[in-house]
Copies of this chain bind each other. A is one copy, B any other.
Amino acid sequence: MNTDELYMAEAISLAKQAAEMDEVPVGAVIVRDGEIIARAYNTREGTRCATHHAELLAIEEACRVLGGWRLIGATLYVTMEPCAMCAGAIVNARIPRVVYGTRDLRFGAYGSLFDLTKIPLNHVPEVKGGVLEEQTRALLSDYFKEKRKRNKEQKAL
């Protein structure tokens, strides 16, 4: 595994924790100077909060750790392409580099639904997608397959 894949593997293990809590499995880590400074996973259902996506929670944790809102020199790794909210938060936090796993055709803000990096903002991160693509896509498809199966079983009772 190369460095990007190693950090993505860490994001995948966080996504698996989300799945165990019946959350859509998305995990994120933020790395600076070769060190993971923030880890988070999606908790939208558990915390009943619309903003609690993995990336947003990781950015908030990284701001706390670094004691400031500019995450200069940081790379954000996330298992799924960020949505508009999270891509906007990445701009607001001035994160210079984003690495994601699988694309999100419905909500992805880095080319799938629209591309925030093509809009003339004051900060545009470098974005790399498709890292550990198969594993990150399987995370989601396995989760939804399992969920459909459970729903079907419940209806049959």
Contacts and interface: CB of A to CB of B under 8 A. Distances in A.
A1 interface: no
Which of A49, A87, A116 is packed against the most chain B CB atoms within 10 Å?
A: A49
Given A50-B59, A51-B59, A83 B88 contact: yes
A116 B94 CA distance: 21
Task: State how many copies of this chain the complex holds.
Answer: 2
A74 to B, nearest CB: 11
Nearest to A67: B48
A91 interface: yes
Contacts of A14: none
A28 to B, nearest CB: 14
Interface of A: 44-45, 48-53, 56, 59-60, 63-64, 67-71, 83-89, 91-94, 106-107, 109, 113-114, 116, 119-122
Given A51-B51, A85-B91, 17 more contacts: A48-B68, A49-B63, A50-B69, A50-B89, A50-B92, A51-B60, A51-B89, A51-B93, A83-B88, A83-B92, A84-B109, A84-B116, A85-B92, A86-B88, A87-B88, A107-B122, A113-B120
